Amino acid sequence: MKKSFAFLLFPLFYLSAIADVRLPSIIGSHMVLQQNSKVKIWGWSAPAENITITVGWDTTTYVTKGSRGATWITEINTPVAGGPFIIKIKGTNEIVLEDVMIGEVWLCGGQSNMEWSADQGLQQSKEEAPNAKNKNIRFFYVPKSTSSTPQDNVSARWVVCNSEDMLHFSAIGYFFGKQIQGTTGFPVGLINSNWGGTPAEVWTPADVVSNNPTLRDAANKIPPFDWWPNKSGEAYNAMIYPLTNYAIAGVLWYQGESNVDTYYGYKQLMISMIESWRKAWEKEFSFYFVQIAPYAYSYTHIKGALLREAQTATSSHPKTGMVVISDLVDNVNDIHPNMKKEVAARLAAYALSETYGMNVGAYKSPVYKTHTIEKAAIRIHFDHVPVALVSKGGAPNDFYIAGADGVFLPATARVEGKTVIVYNLSIKEPKHVRFGFTNTAMSNLFSAEGLPVNLFRTDK
């Protein structure tokens, strides 16, 4: 009889277990939920199962029901930043989420320069580790994975910022989060979803790429490598799509080195990627990115400069912003500059100003505005120069001018207030000017506030 009873009990236990309310990994204890928002909570259950959600910050009870497909989703209202709180989710079983914070959530995406941490030997992360204990910063590290179809979950968990986990987390993400948290006082949740070497196509939905002839042509030129995917949408499906129900404040992005060969389509690709993500999240969130650094590519073609130009053009897209880091490079033969803390500070300044409306002073690099021909010289005017331009260590370098023949020669340059005058004695009627338009240019021209002037060319 005991054997028979056990045999009958097993299917009942099994049916009960599979009917339990379940959550995706990103909904868990220690998470940060976006403040002052309607945030989605979702998961799986038995069809038609009644589910109630109670939260620790008010007395509201949220009620939803499992669908015929055994899924459920609802929205809850979050208050201003604070915590910790408890969330209870009850169906046939009860899940208690503890130590939940309300604050600001940022996704850190891209390739290796965003991924870079102490795991890759970054000294800045190693030096910071003993100080990296902060209960108001939380990490969610998405493991590398690919899929040919959109997935609904990832294998990860939220952890409170600590010295050990910080060593493995994106250095730019951590230092950005530390500055945002320290300046605003808000808890910060950081989602680490990046993969060294990846071209932007793998982070873009496959249909977005395949339906655009320019993007499709560029994608077909991506060579295969043993260390990262090269098919459109593969990383998006497995590492971004499962997160798109989770409310975020914005995205930090550092990528582009793997797209220099197809620089001509990069602006269109990035805008398409940004808009596809915003569509999936149903939110026009902030998107701040890093212009790729000067680097000595193995060829003489100026593809690196052309990719940076494409990134500059992308930055005119709504609610995006680009930081220039041409001065934060210690070795142009290393594609991974070591000064990640400084890069993060520039991204944080952008977010504090644009997303949080705080006065942080100058945060945008000077960019070309217009130019005028003055006899045998060219005067260049810039945007984002609050006070004046300065050149460090001598006259401004990396300027070139050309006449009607289109032959560019090095130019003598001098700063005059917010403008720069350039000329070459052998060019009597100058037509065009270029600045910093090489793969390795590390120009010495800055705003008085210390932000490097962005590259440009007037010939198109």
- Cα dihedral value 425, 428, 434, 436, nearest 10: 0
CA distance 277 to 107: 12
Mean pLDDT computed over 85-102: 98
Mean pLDDT computed over 45-59: 97
Kindly report the average pLDDT of the chain as a whole number.
95
CATH number at 34 reads: 2.60.40.10
Mean pLDDT computed over 316-328: 98
Q: Which pairing describes strands 377-383 and 32-34: parallel, antiparallel, or unpaired? A: unpaired
Cβ-based neighbours of 278, under 8 Å, separated by 6 or more: 284, 285
Q: What is the DSSP string of 285-304?
A: -EEEEEPPPP---SSSS-HH
Alpha helices in 85-167 (DSSP H): 112-115, 123-128, 163-166
Segment 187-209, tens digit of pLDDT = 999 999 999 999 999 999 999 99
Phi-psi category of 270—alpha, beta or left, where left has phi over 0 and alpha has psi -120 to 50?
alpha
Q: Is residue 230 predicted with pLDDT exceeding 60?
A: yes
Segment 267-289, tens digit of pLDDT = 999 999 999 999 999 999 999 99
> For residue 299, what pLDDT band results from cuts at 50, 70 and 90?
confident
Same domain, 377 and 290: no
Number of domains in the chain: 3
Cα–Cα nearest to 456, from 417, 399, 410, 405: 399
Residue carrying the six token digits 């009990």 = 9
Same domain, 291 and 142: yes
Cβ-based neighbours of 367, under 8 Å, separated by 6 or more: 312, 382, 383, 384, 453, 454, 456
CA distance 338 to 330: 7
Domain final residue, candidates 81, 100, 119: 100
The pair of structure tokens assigned to 295 is: 């680097």
Mean pLDDT computed over 395-400: 97
> For residue 19, what pLDDT band results from cuts at 50, 70 and 90?
confident
Alpha helices in 99-155 (DSSP H): 112-115, 123-128
**What single DSSP character describes residue 452?**
B
Q: Is residue 362 part of a domain?
A: no
Question: Rg (Cα) of the chain, in Å, rounded?
Answer: 25
Same domain, 313 and 392: no
Same domain, 341 and 399: no
CATH number at 272 reads: 3.40.50.1110
Per-residue burial over 275-297, b if 16 or more Cβ lie within 10 Å, else e, is bbbbebbebebbbbbbbbbbbeb
Same domain, 165 and 275: yes
Q: Is residue 17 predicted with pLDDT exceeding 90?
A: no
Q: Is residue 10 part of a domain?
A: no
Q: Is residue 413 part of a domain?
A: yes
Domain final residue, candidates 354, 381, 413: 354
The pair of structure tokens assigned to 362 is: 């100058």
Domain final residue, candidates 100, 119, 141: 100
Q: What is the DSSP string of 396-437?
A: --SEEEE-TT--EEE-EEEEETTEEEEE-TT-SS--EEEES-
> For residue 18, what pLDDT band results from cuts at 50, 70 and 90?
low
Angle between helix 266-281 and helix 303-314 axes, rounded to 10 deg: 40
**What single DSSP character describes residue 148?**
S
User: Domain limits at 393?
Assistant: 367-457
Cβ-based neighbours of 172, under 8 Å, separated by 6 or more: 108, 113, 114, 116, 252, 254, 290, 340, 343, 344, 347
Q: Please, are residues 60 and 70 in contact by the beta-carbon 8 Å criterion?
A: no
Mean pLDDT computed over 65-74: 97
Neighbour count for residue 44 (Cβ, 10 Å): 20
Q: Is residue 5 part of a domain?
A: no
Same domain, 271 and 378: no
Q: Is residue 68 part of a domain?
A: yes
Mean pLDDT computed over 239-267: 98
Same domain, 133 and 77: no
Q: Is residue 8 part of a domain?
A: no
Tell me the β-bridge partners of 289.
253, 322
pLDDT at 58: 96
Same domain, 128 and 94: no
Q: Is residue 147 predicted with pLDDT exceeding 50?
A: yes
Same domain, 310 and 416: no
Cα–Cα nearest to 141, from 158, 126, 153: 158
pLDDT at 300: 87
Same domain, 185 and 290: yes
Whole-number Cα distances in Å, 232 to 78, 207, 273: 35, 8, 11
CA distance 222 to 231: 8
Q: Is residue 434 predicted with pLDDT exceeding 60?
A: yes
Same domain, 91 and 118: no
Amino acid in position 3: K
The pair of structure tokens assigned to 161 is: 């910022």
Q: Is the peptide bond before 213 cis (omega within 30 degrees of 0)?
A: no
Q: Is residue 433 part of a domain?
A: yes
Q: Is residue 3 predicted with pLDDT exceeding 50?
A: no
Q: Is residue 5 predicted with pLDDT exceeding 60?
A: no
CA distance 158 to 141: 8
Q: Is residue 4 predicted with pLDDT exceeding 60?
A: no
Same domain, 184 and 134: yes
Q: Is residue 226 part of a domain?
A: yes
Instruction: For the chain, give the percent of residues with pLDDT over 70.
Output: 96
**What single DSSP character describes residue 156?**
-
